Chain A
Amino acid sequence: MAYKLERQKTDLTPYVLIDEENGYMKFEGESFHENVFEFFKEIREWLNEYLKTDFDSLTFDCELKYFNSSTVKVLLCMLLDMDGSDNCENITVNWITTKNNSIIIECGEDFEEDVENIKFNLIAN
């Protein structure tokens, strides 16, 4: 059965949705738990398994308003895993923020430079 995960946001952790059936992943809100690696562990495990499969597409909407520097590291690891997968041309990342959020825009620009194979859209509304 296709994997599905939905976690509601808390003071420290973002809303997370993983819908394997539709090849969709979404993070929304804020992420600054001291132990983000633990929070994202299950998500990364799923992602790494999914990336090995012959999937049709994967869309990742990342709409975080604020995150700490440890989260940056986790996000980068996930993006590089995606970028290095066999199916990388079928992956789209939408980095969604607002025009006035310069911190998130700068971080998105840096990520855009880190990836080569996946589609990375920086969307500042």
Chain B
Amino acid sequence: MFDMMEYHKNLQASRIMLVYSGPLWAEGIGGFANTLKKRLEYDNTPLETSQEVFSVFVEQMNNMLMYSAEKEQFSADELHSEAPKGTFVMGLKGSQYFIQTGNIMSNSSVDIVKNKIDHINTLDKKELRKYYKEKRLENDNPESKGAGLGFIEIARRISGKIEYTFTPYEDGYTFFTLIATIGGKE
């Protein structure tokens, strides 16, 4: 049996507010986003912070949808019968919010993602706004799902830099973790 009491204690001790692991699809993400919104209201989070948290959350979800290499057969939506899988936790550390996401990605995506984030992490907020503005006009493929702006948007809203880890998974795959911290100081 899954140890619910230990789980409860761990989540409380780490001040986790929201946890999920499983298939990701648009309407499901809409549901999490609503839960998140209610929770931020409950906590009386200042509007600016709650907008930052919400924005980072949505972009992290979209990134997982784009890069997760692990799929689950899924029938809630006939158009998307295969849903990418991912895990996220969101919580508080000091007075800051953190959102961590984890997903399996194909090794061929690792360098692309790493280079994108490393470059973004060299820019300050003003440079990020400019870079974002330039990138909006550039397109690979206007029909492609992602606008390629997600990591830049995250970097604009967080305090500090985007943190990440890449851990070898099974053959040909890597486990990717992204950590974003938002709001006031620790």
Contact = CB atoms under 8 A, between A and B. Distances in A.
Interface string B40-73: 0000000110011011001101100100000000
A37 B30 contact: no
A73 B139 contact: yes
B27 A70 contact: no
Nearest to B143: A37
Contacts of A76: 136-137
Interface residues of B, number: 33
A66 B51 contact: yes
Contacts of B59: 68-69
Interface stretch (B106-114, B146-154, B159-167): B146-154
B58 A68 contact: yes
From B47, B133, B142, residue with most partner A Cβ within 10 Å? B133
Contact of B33 (A32, A37, A110, A113): A32
Contact of B62 (A34, A77, A102, A113): A34
A39 B67 CA distance: 21
Contacts of A70: 62, 145-147, 149
B2 to A, nearest CB: 30
A100 B26 CA distance: 28
From A34, A76, A110, residue with most partner B Cβ within 10 Å? A34
Interface in B118-151: 129, 133, 136-137, 139, 142-143, 145-147, 149-150
B81 interface: no
B34 interface: yes
B29 interface: yes
Interface in A46-100: 66, 68-70, 72-73, 76-77, 100
Contact of B145 (A11, A12, A34, A113): A34
A68 B51 contact: no
